[in-house]
A and B are shown apart, each in its own frame.
Chain A
């Protein structure tokens, strides 16, 4: 078993979302990042993977890492549809959070086992505001 997280776009409920290979978030704008736990060892093909459903009392924390340790934030993830699909999780993104490319690392504890999980999708910052003109 090799767990990974796939980002979900346009999530409205458990029947309406898209799995994406890349998702960009605007820094400074609060939003919610949805993602699904998948098992990279189990694939029906075409770059898709079977979901992984943790136990009902599973917990997850997500670390937004940064080169600068002052910007590193730890967040508790939650299941938006815990009764229907426990493979889907979400974290709130605050306006103060710094988004950097592929900077998310999750720790999932389920049935007494702790897994460190990385994002399979690319999560990056969408340049907005004055940042678009120079760097």
Chain B
């Protein structure tokens, strides 16, 4: 499950706040993942988490489940990885992007570290690599780019470039590649057209390299998504919202506004959640598009 990340290439700056590499103390921007207690105090303060019909209470275990569902929804809605995950991408060879310093846009964002960028075969059988025994084996390593060449300046937006300025005259790739003279492959593949699944890029994705810590704004979005789910379950349970009692000329009317209040809160949370999701998406996405279409 674990991987040796000692040689993985780190980003040049933090993912959050965007581009920072040092910060003055005073304002906490990163915090522990949302706990049930914190979730209730931030998003459901003052709201009775009890079914008005069965009187069943929402336990901390239940709230944990709601938070987990909220986090998963945010990952899907914003198309970002929150907790660290190592992904293996098979990206196509595109001659236009190749000539732009091997511009590789990885579909998942943000990138924390690059474990390796390589050209791998489709087959992993009988290649003699340890991969064969893994659950998700990689293809045989034909040529591995030295991590020194990988430009990490736009990694948090999912863009990697290969800029072999420093060691270009001496390096010939890394030793564990199948073909030791693999550097030559970079010279002639420029003549080729489009090749699917050509580059193999393995990256550590996620907002935080330290698991368990998230930007406060991400906790805010997770909390909102979870609170919408809690309130959506709660508000239809209020069966009696108004009562009328009349005896001859005497009448009494009672109206319970709680259901409407909860409904209004859900709508407000939905609008706020959408705004934050858009901001998170914008934080890790690109406005530039480059291809041969």
Chain A positions near chain B (C-beta within 8 angstroms) = 21-22, 24, 27, 46-47, 65-70, 72, 99-101, 103, 122, 124-127, 130-135
Q: Is B213 at the interface (CB under 8 A from chain A)?
A: yes
Stretch at the interface among B28-36, B147-155, B162-170, B245-253: B28-36
Contact between chains at B210 and A134 (CB < 8 Å):
no
C-alpha spacing A47/B4, complex, angstroms: 38
Contact between chains at B5 and A70 (CB < 8 Å):
yes
Contact between chains at A125 and B210 (CB < 8 Å):
yes
Q: Is B6 at the interface (CB under 8 A from chain A)?
A: yes
Contact between chains at B29 and A69 (CB < 8 Å):
no
Of listed B3, B15, B207, B213, residue having the most chain A CB within 10 A: B213
Q: Which residue of B lies closest to A69 (CB)?
A: B2
Of listed B25, B27, B35, residue having the most chain A CB within 10 A: B35
Chain B positions near chain A (C-beta within 8 angstroms) = 1-6, 8, 14-17, 20, 22-25, 27-33, 35-36, 59-62, 64, 83-84, 86, 204, 207-213, 215
Contact between chains at B215 and A127 (CB < 8 Å):
no
Q: Which residue of A lies closest to B63 (CB)?
A: A21
C-alpha spacing A23/B223, complex, angstroms: 19
C-alpha spacing A69/B3, complex, angstroms: 5
Contact of B213 among A22, A47, A72, A127 (CB under 8 A): A127
Main secondary structure, interface of A, reads: loop
Contact between chains at B2 and A65 (CB < 8 Å):
yes
Contact between chains at B208 and A68 (CB < 8 Å):
no
Contact between chains at B211 and A100 (CB < 8 Å):
yes
Contact between chains at A126 and B32 (CB < 8 Å):
yes
B residues in contact with A132, CB < 8 Å: 25, 28-31
15 example contacts (A-B, Cβ-Cβ < 8 A) are as follows: A27-B210, A47-B60, A68-B2, A68-B8, A70-B4, A99-B212, A100-B210, A101-B211, A103-B211, A127-B32, A132-B29, A133-B23, A134-B16, A135-B207, A135-B209
C-alpha spacing A124/B20, complex, angstroms: 24
Nearest-CB distance from A1 to chain B (Å)?
Answer: 20
Contact between chains at B3 and A134 (CB < 8 Å):
no
Contact of A131 among B4, B30, B33, B64 (CB under 8 A): B30
Contact between chains at B27 and A133 (CB < 8 Å):
yes
A residues in contact with B4, CB < 8 Å: 68-70
Q: Which residue of A lies closest to B15 (CB)?
A: A135
Supply 5 further A-B pairs (C-beta < 8 A) apart from A68-B8, A100-B211, A101-B211: A21-B36, A21-B61, A27-B210, A101-B212, A127-B210
Contact between chains at B29 and A131 (CB < 8 Å):
no
Of listed B2, B8, B33, residue having the most chain A CB within 10 A: B2
B residues in contact with A134, CB < 8 Å: 14, 16-17, 20, 22-23, 29-30
A residues in contact with B6, CB < 8 Å: 68, 70
B residues in contact with A124, CB < 8 Å: 32-33, 211-212
Contact of A67 among B24, B31, B64, B84 (CB under 8 A): B84
